[in-house]
Amino acid sequence: MSTKGKVVGVVANLVTLEVDGPVGQNEICFIDLKGTKLMAEVIKVMGDKVAVQVFESTRGLQVGVSAEFAGRMLEVTLGPGMLSKTYDGLQNDLHKMEGVFLKRGEYTQPLNPGQKWKFTPLAKVGDEVEAASWLGEVKENWLDHKIMVPFDLKGTAKIKKIVSAGEYTSDSEIAVLTDANGNDISVSMEIKWAVKREVSAYKSKPRPFKLFETGVRTVDTLNPLAEGGTGFMPGPFGAGKTVMQHSFAKNANADIIVMVACGERANEVVEIFTEFPELEDPRTGRKLMERTVIIANTSNMPVAAREASVYTGMTIAEYYRSMGMKVLLLADSTSRWAQALREMSNRLEELPGQDAFPMDLSAIIAQFYARNGYVELNNGKTGSITFLGAVSPAGGNLKEPVTESTKKAARCFYALDQARADSKRYPAIDPIESYSKYIEYPELVAYLEENVQKGWADGVQILKDVLLRGKEAKDQINILGDDGVPLEYHITYNKSEVVDFSILQQDSFDKVDGTTPMPRQKQLTNVVLDICQSNYNFEDFEDVNKFFRRIINLINQMKYTKFESQEFYAAEKELKDFTATKKVANDNKKESA
């Protein structure tokens, strides 16, 4: 018999219930408001009273209203048919809902139970399986969607029955398993899985530190992201977070994209709805939405639903990772998720931390970020979740609690700078403030040495040094004037400008420059490194400025020309011939600036 309860207190979305039986943390209940069932989640147990966060508006809710507990945690339904879908934080299919505004208490099926899928078995009767083992596969759009053993299976089981190849609905029985205790378990194509619990159906394996290519030069070259790694982009409004995420989604080396809009303003979420379905997938020539799942929660939705959305997105990503796929998870913006945590913490009257955020904010963020990773599956295949979150600090303050807490969890920090955005230097990632801790790991350095070129990591450090010294030289020139500094200051500054215009700046809307594969990045980087390490003869600072402006124009011709084409090599030769006119004769010793 399920546990019952009644409302004894209401504070916005925080409701206190008095219960007549056992209740678990994160268990789901339904509050009956005049025949409308409001879903809620237990967030605190206090003897015979529990605090729940309601995923709907609580307007009109009164003391004495009854509630019933479901005996399960907040969960999602996983199976074929999720790609191209747009869900809210509770995995309701938004396209199945009627009207412009969401109705309170309306919940929809996340999958299409009546749709038939062409099933091909990968296992046979008598095979021993465990959680997440592959039983078969169906085609979801053009991807092979694996049908798996439920994740909550304990130990091993044997296949007692499995259907032959054919068309079946997602809720049809496709296999029967017999566990170690002799119990039969019916398996369909659908799996239900709690969103606030990690999938544990993997063997542990040291992370191989493969490069996760995004096609964005300032990321892949200067601050690389490892496959299965974590990174985040804090920045003010208008600094280009949305365009960056679109670029990552289109060009990154990923099989599946999961986009989570957790608390964005309504107009920003509408942008995702309207633009994502129109984006072309450069890998396949089809629509990008065919391998994308969108989780959308606007900032005016109840805070509890906003808080759930990131967990729903991560759980869906974990599901596809179990199929041996590379998943890119994008969350925009985790600041609004953290604000939802703050609102509920304040209503619970917990001891506040900095800026009234929960005291354990860093731990919550770290625990969530830890769910990404590169894993080895039970069958020896590998899968990964690479997580990139966007942070929207108030006023662009990168010292606020959410940014600082995320810094402790994420390995890559891509700081979007308002000044760069205002000067139209996109992507507006600050090359001085940003960093990647992966470039310091010997495993990734070894990967780059083997798969890109020898000394690649050293070359990256040279470019970073050029940028830092260029910034210092620029500051001196601005203070003392062009004639008030030695000629070397102008040379140093202009070399940093070559790095900026050639590598840091990229046109996301150009068919050629919009994405840069690693072979093209390597070629461009080597050209820039040669320029930065060479010594030149100049008459005065005007001669310096004129020379490097010409270099930047020639490199831009290479950037907007098809790689390894006749025009590309012609521009490269013209660049080499031009730089040779100013190079110091017999320049055997090269310097970084």
- For the record, the structure tokens of 62 come out as 């009164």
Whether 463 and 428 map to the same domain: the answer is no
The verdict on residue 586 lying in a domain is: yes
Can you give the CATH number for the domain in which 176 is found? 2.40.50.100
The span from the CA of 37 to the CA of 564, in Å, is 62
Last residue of a domain, one of 73, 99, 129: 73
Helix extents (H) in 424-540: 442-451, 456-480, 487-499, 518-533
Residue 592: predicted pLDDT: 41
Alpha carbon separation from 507 to 21, 59, 242, 341, 523 (Å, rounded): 60, 48, 14, 37, 18
128 plus 260 within the same structural domain:
no
Distance CA 552, CA 493 (A): 13
Residues spanned by the domain of 427: 211-330+360-437
pTM, two decimals, is 0.94
CATH code of residue 570: 1.10.1140.10
Q: Looking at 189, 221, 246, which one is the last position of a domain?
A: 189
- 337 belongs to a structural domain: no
Strand partners, 328: 257, 386
**In 10 A of CB 581, how many CB atoms?**
9
Task: Say whether both 465 and 316 belong to one domain.
Answer: no
* Residue 479 resides in a domain: yes
- 390 shares a domain with 268: yes
Q: What is the pLDDT of residue 206?
A: 53
277 and 404 inside one domain: yes
In 10 A of CB 440, how many CB atoms? 11
* 271/374 same-domain check: yes
Structure tokens that stand for 424 in this block: 């139209």
Q: Is the model's pLDDT at 198 over the cut of 70? A: no
Could you say which of 48, 73, 98 is where a domain stops?
Answer: 73
**Looking at the domain assignment, is residue 171 inside a domain?**
yes
CB of 236 closer than 8 Å to CB of 242: no
Q: How confident is the model at residue 593 (pLDDT cuts 50, 70, 90)?
A: very low
Residue 343, domain member (yes or no): no
pLDDT given at position 336 = 87
167 and 262 co-located in one domain? no
pLDDT at 227 (0 to 100): 95
Judge whether residue 588 has pLDDT over 50. Answer: no
One domain for residues 261 and 385: yes
Same domain for 432 and 475, yes or no, is: no
Whether residue 280 sits in one domain with residue 170: no
The verdict on residue 200 lying in a domain is: no
Query: Same structural domain for residues 270 and 222?
Result: yes
250-294 pLDDT per residue, tens: 999 999 999 998 876 666 677 777 777 778 888 888 889 999 999
Q: Which residue has the tokens 């039969």?
A: 184
Q: Give the CATH number, domain containing residue 52.
A: 2.40.30.20
CATH of the domain at 424: 3.40.50.300
Query: Looking up tokens 């590598």, which residue turns up?
Result: 503
Residue 103, domain member (yes or no) = no
DSSP 400-411: SHHHHHHHHH-S
DSSP category for residue 504: I
The answer to whether 184 and 64 have CB atoms below 8 angstroms apart is no
- Number of domains observed in the structure of the chain: 4
Domain annotation covers residue 443: no
Task: Say whether both 560 and 482 belong to one domain.
Answer: yes
The string of pLDDT tens digits covering residues 501-547 is 999 999 988 999 999 999 999 999 999 999 999 999 999 999 999 99
